[in-house]
Amino acid sequence: MGAFLGLLFGLGCFMVYRARTVPPVAKSSGEGWQERSRELLIQAGIEGVSPGQLLGASVALGLVAFVIVLGTSRVFVIGLAFGGFASLLPLTLVRRRRALRSVELREVWPEAVDNLASGVRAGLSLPEALTQLGIRGPEQLRSAFRRFGEDYRATGRFAESLDHLKANLSDPVGDRVVEALRMAREVGGTDLGRLLRTLSTFLREDARTRAELETRQGWTVNAARLALCAPWVLLLLLSTQPSAVAAYNEPAGAVVLLVGGAVSLAAYRVMMRIAKLPVERRVLR
């Protein structure tokens, strides 16, 4: 017993020593759910919606689905399950919109870089060429470059305007393009046109390769979603007849439903993990 108490005392002293000597790790600004949700909304191209409103929509939709299913089936655990599914629907739709917009941006970035190279070749300065993308660039990128032009005209600070452009785009490809332009602006030289042409070629090859992989991946993803949804759709249809699902009011029935839901979710996550393609992250924020 004495050795055990001595071990605990030594462990406590070590933890106090570590707390006083090791500097605290600063949390990055993107760790909070509000920052992550805000970036998710920006990447999805959804303006005018705050993270709090997204959370409120999820809670409201979940409550509505819970009340409707509970009133139809008269089984609390079934209503709770479909209320949870419904509460995830807004976030799922936003993520789906982000994925579609990411594909759109990946396809139009080479065109935007070509337009930028043409403007530089025509004698425009780099800020002027970027501002012109807000007028003649791809439709999906015009609003972000239009804001860049407004920022640059208001402040005259190219670096800060590029930072605002990165925040408005919230796109990994956009980060690479912006940092390449920043480096070209700071270093100078006559190789900007060659750099932009090389970047455009690289972006086209990357988009072509990823599009082929995503096409092949689609079969696996659709099969996983179908396997997840099929039993729950059947349960939802059965819940319209309270006598058919009355067994789930019993503790054993509730346990079966909860275990089935956990197994379905785990299997879906494993299949999606296996089929997941490498996702390009924003390392140049």
Reading the block at residue 75, the tokens are 């089984």
Instruction: Please write the tens of the pLDDT for every residue from 236-263.
Output: 888 888 887 888 888 888 888 888 888 8
Cβ-in-10-Å burial (0-12, 13-18, 19+) of 182 comes to middle
Confidence of residue 18 (pLDDT cuts 50, 70, 90): low
Q: Contact, 248 vs 257, CB < 8 A? A: yes
Reported as a single tens digit per residue, the pLDDT across 165-216 is 888 888 888 888 888 888 877 776 566 777 788 888 888 888 888 888 777 7
Phi (first) and psi of residue 28, to 5 degrees: -75, 155
* Residue 20: predicted pLDDT: 54
| Confidence band, pLDDT 50/70/90 cuts, at residue 4 | very low
* Euclidean distance between the first and the last CA atom of the chain, given in angstroms as a whole number: 54
Question: Across residues 104-108, what is the average pLDDT?
Answer: 85
Among 88-102, 133-147, 190-204, name the one with the lowest average pLDDT: 190-204
Is residue 75 helix, strand or coil?
Answer: coil
Identify the band that residue 58 occupies on the pLDDT scale cut at 50, 70 and 90.
very high
Task: Determine the angle formed by the axes of helices 158-169 and 172-187, rounding to 10 degrees.
Answer: 170
How many Cβ atoms are within 10 Å of 195's Cβ, its own excluded?
Answer: 17
Q: Hey, where are the domains in the chain?
A: 106-208
Q: Is the whole-model pTM more than 0.75?
A: no
